[in-house]
Structure 1
């Protein structure tokens, strides 16, 4: 076998085909088909082995941080954001512009390094297999080869998409990048296969061969591959996901069948049998793993906001109990039509959702961002799962893999979780196991709508204020549209805070809690759940921000007034039944102080916002003078007080910087929460209460976890790669 004949190859089409030539070509094609089969089997075998080695033997502290020095140089050229561009010289502007572009490229490379390396590896292997031993550049040798290799790889591609993965210690979601890139490469090879034979037909004037029956069966898979490739591109897939999903599964079946009749002279029957077996096995397993609700009242749905739902499922829907926290299930609406149900098993348009509960809980909770698929009360659903999350820092000590929080071994010594939106679903189970095992944990949660924080009410037995930092990127006030139809809004809002009042017979399942326009609110474009990252070294001057904020609070008001926003004047004339409520008496007694506090803090902080690295404490407000709007706001405040997080909610995006880096190593201070009572019962700055540990943790014992919007996860991943901590990304994106 000759791997490289020369660095320069003159490609050509053969002028004639003798029997000896055809025999040689077929033997070489079969040989490289066998080599490809052996390599794919070895590749599948090595996947779990590499996974175990990565978990147990790779020292994180030995990671090479390629980009840190380059990033530091670029930051020096970019300079401070506070510098006015009008005061900069032309050379400085050009330098800064180029440095910004270079930094964007650097971030792209850092975030996509694994995908780029995987793509380069697969392209290299496929090119080597396709262009070796090709009879001095014979294009028919190449055409046959790039047709044979994709056909041999097709079972591997189907195997990589199995849910769950049959490979040990391997989450199927982790295999989707392999499935995607290998698929794209063989599609490109198929395109080359078709192009070379079309060139041959044109060269010899034999286009009639292109329409022979055997070749027609080849054109169909080519069309299918082209459609799959185009619809799988990110922009198309994100906009027309249902169409992508339907085409993907439909064409897979068509391609498998057509390849059996197209490939010759060597029969493809054994590969076809494997392909069909994988597809049928997936359907059978999905049916066995699926469970439907026994009646329409088993699933309870509460609209926390117009764009966020809390869904409670009975445990019997979970056919396969998870052995780790952070598992997910796949759900679709149950149809009374057998044909529709059968169709959904062949083309399984299920929706994946992370379980916000532990497997041992009495019910399973989901926190869901509403979209085209929206949960409704009095509806039946079909659930498949659950599917375990492959967390490298947890391991069940139960021999039967049954979940037990007491027998769950946690290898992390400190955990930082940074999530956005419904990513909190993944964080909450990890929070519970960390608190049970005494592991320090901090959850940074970024939301657009402050009302979404109320979903934590369903987890009030597990929420500890010191574990949370919540950042609100949206407005602090509700729009006037939020309180239209105030009677309905008030009734629905009460279901969040008084669980006993929840009545399925009275609940309007289609009315959101605050009656916003769902189409506007649920649009992904309206959400700004992200973080900013900083690679800068510690700046002692930054810590003065917190001290100044605490001093302002101490001088302007009593501790704890932050969340008591001024009461609109129009509310002073409300009926006695409202005015005499305990919460309103409390608010009214502080009204004059709150006016001073709110306006003073907002003025002072707005002056510092351009230079401060500390976030302003978030204070919700009311723009409507209606009784209902104030009642809803007061209930929200009651919730965050009961959860002890009223001083842990901040305005704007968090800046993940050296403070969080130091917290991961030593613990200590990250965000200013205002003056607090110290151990000697004196009021002190919050920065002086939490002292860092004197011993630095090894990098291998520190884990940073991220889930939520793609931009947020991307930024966190880049930051973690610079720090050298362990990183886990939870994502259903393909």
Structure 2
């Protein structure tokens, strides 16, 4: 019988010193190589393959099988928790490279933990590059990966420190070894790692973002320096890579930073618009919903120098379209300074990565998308690989949704934009914009007073009795059952309809487009503020939208196209139009491969929408407007 104690690592299980050193260096390098392959190859390859319709259809069938066979799986908290998955995966990877062929030598394991933590530093710094050099990858989407690899790295470094202290105690050399200069560098680096982790916790980060950023950025530089002098043998290659990444980021930022003097217009008690000429930015936006990073320029030369060293900038999405001469930013009133005629540093533009929109000329099978040569020359013409797009935004994230809505409408894509706000006076924004191509805009007002906490803007996700993969008829039955049981006072609809539930928005979506403009007044009869005049196509409701089968059914629908468009001839074939069937059954994958769900705004809104889209097997794009 095998003695299990032989498998337990011990400081007494010594291996040859040269073999130990070779294994430490080799498996640390392998962990670095694995992280490089994962970031530079696996992530871009996944992004590319996920856009291929054949791959999408395969994964959709797999989801359908899992949903129908194990319907309770997706309700488990771990199923949708990306943080736990990322942390578990990278902790497992570090564990494998730490323990493989360790000869049960705890000293070798201890040294490997430290070396692997050093080897992963360049990778986690690469993930912070703005913009990301990875194809079809927005740098903001890599931040969760950066965060959780970092925490796995810190765990490895902490175990490295603890095991070494135990080893020193066992050898009776704590005082002599711990206070050696090289080891003191390691203790300092470990202390900075702990500071980085504690300051990046949500409650600390949101209560004082400036403190978090200063500690995070300065500690990163110091950690690299301290580890360089602590590591034995020297880890010069990893140090050079880490420093090169940070210096490249500084050079890119300085090259793409300009100074602007914007005008400031107060929209509502919670929103303010900032405007300046688009030519003042270092590069012109190409795609809608691009963003810039901005910070106020201090009058003190030393503060300006400090801000260049530690670049605390705030990202804001451009509300204006790429062809407009004026850049418009919608900013939620808060800690960000909004001073008329003051100077601001602006870095960017950073184009979004919206994988169904590009400037490349592509042929399209969608007869609703524009084919006129004259319209194709318009700056609003984009290649859109989508038939339907469902967009949810909260609060100031409307700056992301409106440009996207305009471009999709212009290019003949069926689109709905659901905007969730806390204060009805935020709708004054629509009076300050040119209302072109905004059909499909729906507003849900979840409160009657200003609330600076965007986290209160949420949407409800109901895991209904009807499966998203069931037939439309069964889903409709379930929807009507909920309508009959709803609170009739839950919605105030300003589009002159008689439906009484927020879940009937799809039924009111096709109302007469020739309605007169609507006038929205305070629900409490408050005359202090001007009344808000809205175009007829904007629907306003009170309450919160509920993600249920009605939205999924809208995604499944296909447009009615004229026979002329279907046949490609100048004459019709008899019927005025042909409507593609709504009963999709086995064609779900084909239809849904051209449907996208988009969410932007608070973390809760984006997370809820992502979970719903994933459960329904829909393509998803999300951008969180949060610290």
Q: Following the alignment from structure 1 to structure 2, what is the Cα–Cα distance between the partners of residues 532 and 166? A: 35
Give the 3 Å change call, closer, same or farther, for CA 524–445 of structure 1 in structure 2: closer
Q: Is the 8 A contact 1:474 1:528 kept in 2?
A: no
More relative contact order, 1 or 2 (CA 8 Å, 6+ apart): 1
Matches within 5 A, 1:563-602: none
Deviation at 1:58, TM superposition (A): 2.3
Q: Determine the structure 2 residue equivalent to 1:679.
A: none
CA contact (8 A) 2:102 2:108 kept: yes
| 1:70 to partner: Cα distance | 7.8
Match of 1:714 in 2: 607
Alpha-carbon distance change, 352 to 70 in structure 1, aligned in 2, over 3 angstroms: farther
The alpha-carbon deviation at position 273 of structure 1 amounts to 2.0
Helix, strand or coil at the partner of 2:354: coil
**Cα RMSD between the aligned structures?**
3.4
Per-residue deviation, 1:371 = 1.5
Are the structure 2 counterparts of residues 539 and 664 from structure 1 closer, same or farther at C-alpha, using a change threshold of 3 Å? closer
Aligned to 1:120: 88
User: Conserved in 2, the CA contact under 8 Å of 1:29 and 1:141?
Assistant: yes
Distance change (3 Å), C-alpha of 1:71 and 1:654: farther
- Decide which of 305, 308, 328 is 1:342's aligned counterpart: 305
**Residues 563 and 654 (structure 1 numbering): CA distance in 2 closer, same or farther, change over 3 Å?**
closer
Is the partner of 1:470 in helix, strand or coil? strand
2:292–2:349 CA contact under 8 A, matched in 1 = yes
Contact kept? 1:666, 1:692, Cα under 8 Å: no
| Aligned positions of 1:196-207 closer than 5 A | 196-207=163-174
In 2, distance between residues paired with 1:618 and 1:26? Answer: 76
Question: Is the Cα contact below 8 Å between 1:456 and 1:463 reproduced in 2?
Answer: no
Identify the residue that residue 116 of structure 2 maps to in structure 1.
149
Other-structure match for 1:533: 462
Q: Residue 474 of structure 1 aligns with which residue?
A: 447
2:97 corresponds to which of 129, 133, 150: 129
Give the drift of 1:632. Answer: 3.1
Shift of 1:378: 2.0
Asked if 1:51 corresponds to 2:47, the answer is: yes
Find the aligned partners of 2:199 and 2:6 in 1 and give their Cα distance: 37
Residue 195 of structure 2 corresponds to: 227
Deviations 1:604-648 (A, max 9, x none): 99xx77xx8448999644657xxxx53734x31xx21xx2246x1
* Aligned counterparts of 2:167 and 2:485: Cα–Cα separation in 1: 78
- Partner deviation per Cα, 1:323-357 (whole Å, 9 max, x = no partner): 32221111100112332222222221111111112
Structure 2 gaps of 5+ residues are 363-376, 467-474, 509-517, 560-577, 585-589
The separation in 2 between residues aligned to 1:644 and 1:451, in whole angstroms, is 18
Alignment of 1:632 onto 2:529:
yes
Query: Partners of 1:318 and 1:467 in 2: how far apart?
Result: 31
Matched, 1:458 2:417: no
1:221-274 deviation line (CA, Å, top 9, x unaligned): 00000111112222322223222111110101111111121111x222232222
Normalising by structure 1, what TM-score?
Answer: 0.70
Q: Name the residue aligned to 2:556.
A: 665
Name the SS of the counterpart of 1:521 in structure 2: coil
Q: Is the 8 A contact 1:299 1:379 kept in 2?
A: yes
Matched, 1:374 2:267: no
For residue 418 of structure 1, the aligned residue among 377, 385, 392 is 392
TM-aligned CA distance change 1:462 to 1:406, over 3 Å: closer
8 Å contact kept, 2:410–2:437: no
Change in Cα spacing, 1:622 to 1:165, as seen in structure 2 (3 Å) is closer
Partner of 1:515: none
| Partner deviation per Cα, 1:291-333 (whole Å, 9 max, x = no partner) | 112xxxx412111111111221210232133332221111100
Structure-2 residue corresponding to 1:494: none
Residue 181 of structure 2 aligns with which residue?
213
Indicate how the Cα distance of structure 1 residues 562 and 58 shifts in structure 2: closer, same or farther if over 3 A, else same: closer
Candidates 86, 94, 111, aligned match of 2:80 = 111
Larger helix share, 1 or 2: 1
Question: Which of these two proteins has the greater Rg computed from alpha carbons?
Answer: 1
Tell me, yes or no, if the aligned pair for 1:420 and 1:530 is still in contact at 8 Å: no
**Unaligned stretches of 5+ in structure 1?**
75-102, 479-519, 553-560, 565-596, 669-690
Distance 1:107 1:655, change over 3 A: farther
For residues 215 and 447 of structure 2, the distance between their equivalents in structure 1, rounded to whole angstroms, comes to 37
Query: What secondary structure does 2:221 align onto?
Result: helix
TM-score, normalization: structure 2?
0.81
Give the secondary structure class of the aligned counterpart of 1:632: coil
